[in-house]
């Protein structure tokens, strides 16, 4: 029979990679919490209009990449292509604006984009993201960038370039849009069909079109920085000054406009020099108009998200050492049914004390059980047979040193094992 394979652009996270995912996720959670962000989980699917309104009708994401379908009730549903829209919806729907400002949330979520799959560009991928509502101050922008910066440091990721830009506010952008429109109109015959339709509605979107022809035209387009109003310019100056004051290096890159419509003022990306085409590991910025556009009060806000798969690609390319997986502490081999029952009972007692222990679940011979214990890297072994059952005594063997220690099988087994184990002090959660 034909084996059904995973869908193009999706990846299985296999047990052999679980340690890496858990390690990076735990650093993300702890860094987020240190900076005052609390977790939010929003559904994987939402009303399609949520993304059309927030991400924007003329973006690549909405025009080309959304997983949209009609559900059995005839509603148009979309799998989330990013995390910000759902977080903003939840912020409004549950009145999080009543909490002390700024409201700071973080999430780890799968996202879905129907893109041409390649290394680092998937149709299902995972984002770690943070969103912060309520602050218009440059300290919030610089603080958020500093947060991402220190997260990468804690993850031992090197060789990232931080690129920042300001894309202004709707008022300075009006003039800029005119200038862009004039420029792209002159080069109309080189634009793709989607970009032709963007010319009148949102010429800034042409700047991040993925078609190579459009990208070539976009190279010589006017830059937003020349069009910033006084307020936006001084906001950007202050963000840069704050970054300078804590020694965070950055490049001002006026070509960064981001692919989503909701951004205002500061935008930034962390770009890796160790990835191929898909080199942006993290992106974000301010979106001061979005909450109001979604039906809330005028609320400045900002955030960023990083792609976990891309992050792991960079970490693997840089050979970052991940924490070793904890091996099995004790494997209890057994000969015969009565001994297997005893092994089963002892294993349960150890597991109650949070000690990783295992016994035969495959009806293997003693020889095969010991081989298995070696394969799973058991630190200690104990063999139970009729003699051990009769005497109530066994021998714990240290698999690394060969050292043997007697153990009483009936009296305080867990405490004796903890004392024997050279790692006894690592049993953080043991409750004896
Ligand atoms: P974004 O730049 O579209 O921003 O995505 C953020 C990150 O998600 C990217 O830098 C990349 O690492 C990862 N990513 C995006 N698409 C893919 C893909 N097809 N395959 C693998 N990884 C991908 C946002 O989504 C905004 N919501 C970020 C934000 C939060 N802005 C403010 N708050």
Low-confidence residues in the chain, pLDDT < 70: 422-432
Q: Does pTM top 0.95 for this prediction?
A: no
Q: How far away, in angstroms, is 305 Cα from ligand 1 center?
A: 6
**How much is the pLDDT for 431?**
31
Residue closest by Cα to atom 32 of ligand 1:
303
Q: What is the DSSP string of 140-158?
A: HHHHHHHHHHHHHHHTT--
Mean pLDDT of the chain: 94
**How much is the pLDDT for 278?**
75
Question: How many DSSP H helices and E strands does the chain contain?
Answer: 15, 16
**How much is the pLDDT for 424?**
44
Cα–Cα dist 290/97, whole Å: 14
Q: How far away, in angstroms, is 168 Cα from ligand 1 center?
A: 21
Question: Using a 6 Å cutoff on CB, does residue 312 contact ligand 1?
Answer: no
**How much is the pLDDT for 323?**
87
174-193: pLDDT as tens digits: 999 999 999 999 999 999 99
Residue closest by Cα to atom 10 of ligand 1:
282
**Which is nearest to 191 in space by CA: 167, 214, 174?**
214
Question: Using a 6 Å cutoff on CB, does residue 128 contact ligand 1?
Answer: no
Residue closest by Cα to atom 29 of ligand 1:
304
**How much is the pLDDT for 87?**
98
Pairing of strands 251-252, 160-166: parallel
Residue closest by Cα to atom 15 of ligand 1:
307
């Amino acid at each position: 029979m034909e084996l059904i394979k995973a869908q193009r652009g999706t990846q299985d996270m296999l047990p052999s990679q679980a340690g890496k995912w858990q390690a990076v996720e735990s650093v993300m959670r702890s860094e987020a919490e240190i900076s005052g962000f609390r977790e939010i989980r929003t559904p994987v699917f939402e009303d399609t209009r949520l993304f059309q309104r927030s991400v924007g009708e003329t973006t690549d994401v909405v025009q080309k990449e959304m997983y949209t379908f009609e559900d059995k009730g005839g509603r148009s549903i979309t799998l989330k292509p990013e995390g910000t829209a759902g977080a903003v919806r939840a912020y409004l729907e549950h009145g999080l604006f009543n909490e002390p400002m700024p409201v700071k949330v973080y999430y780890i979520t799968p996202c879905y984009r129907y893109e041409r799959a390649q290394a680092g560009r998937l149709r299902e991928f995972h984002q770690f993201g943070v969103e912060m509502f309520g602050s218009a101050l440059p300290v919030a922008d610089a603080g958020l960038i500093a947060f991402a910066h220190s997260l990468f440091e804690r993850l031992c990721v090197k060789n990232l370039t931080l690129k920042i830009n300001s894309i202004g506010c709707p008022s300075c952008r009006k003039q800029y849009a005119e200038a862009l429109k004039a420029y792209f109109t002159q080069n109309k015959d080189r634009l793709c069909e989607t970009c032709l339709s963007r010319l009148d509605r949102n010429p800034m979107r042409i700047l991040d079109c993925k078609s190579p022809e459009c990208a070539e035209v976009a190279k010589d387009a006017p830059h937003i920085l020349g069009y910033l109003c006084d307020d936006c310019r001084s906001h950007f100056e202050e963000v840069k000054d704050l970054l300078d004051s804590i020694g965070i290096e950055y490049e001002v890159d006026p070509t960064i406009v981001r692919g989503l419509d909701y951004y205002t003022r500061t935008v930034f990306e962390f770009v890796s020099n160790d990835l191929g085409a898909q080199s942006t590991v993290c992106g974000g910025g301010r979106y001061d108009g979005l909450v109001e556009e979604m039906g809330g009060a005028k609320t400045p806000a900002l955030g960023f998200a990083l792609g976990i798969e891309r992050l792991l690609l960079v970490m693997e390319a840089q050979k970052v050492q991940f924490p070793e997986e904890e091996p099995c502490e004790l494997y209890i081999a057994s000969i015969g049914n009565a001994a297997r029952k005893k092994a089963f009972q002892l294993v349960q007692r150890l597991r109650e004390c949070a000690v990783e222990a295992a016994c035969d679940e495959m009806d293997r011979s003693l020889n095969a059980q010991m081989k298995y214990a070696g394969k799973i890297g058991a630190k200690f072994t104990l063999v139970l047979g009729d003699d051990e059952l009769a005497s109530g005594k066994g021998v714990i063997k240290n698999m690394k040193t060969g050292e043997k220690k007697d153990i009483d099988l009936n009296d305080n087994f867990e405490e004796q094992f903890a004392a024997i184990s050279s790692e006894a002090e690592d049993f953080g959660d043991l409750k004896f």
